[in-house]
Amino acid sequence: MVASGSQDPQRFTDPDRFVPDRPDNEHLGFGHGLHSRFGAPLARLEAQLARTALVRHLDDPQLAADPPPYRHNAVLRGPGTSR
């Protein structure tokens, strides 16, 4: 159930595809409305800074496969490998 968050095809076009700049990307990662997480803006800023620092240190970042093999389980959903 947890891994199904933000996977509704009626709400998200092609929900299984990774699109970092997806328009209208109101995912459930930090909650919503009254249940929104207080630290969400700080976490987003930290993630942006971490991505920038990581990309600067990688010569040629690539996915191990295109599309990457996903690991599916009840809690986490994400690429199985990268290189």
* pLDDT tens-digit readout, 19-60: 777 777 776 677 777 777 888 889 889 989 998 998 888 888
Query: How many domains does one find in the chain?
Result: 1
- If you average pLDDT over residues 70-74, what whole number do you get? 72
Residue 42 DSSP SS3? helix
Phi, psi of 77 (to 5 degrees): -140, 125
Cα three-residue angle 38-40-61, rounded to 5 degrees: 165
Query: Angle 15-17-23 (CA atoms, 0-180°, nearest 5)?
Result: 70
Residue 71 — very low, low, confident or very high, per pLDDT cuts 50/70/90?
confident
> Which structural domain, as residue segments, surrounds residue 16?
2-79
CA separation for the pair 27, 41 (Å, rounded): 14
Do residues 71 and 57 touch, judged by C-beta distance below 8 A? no
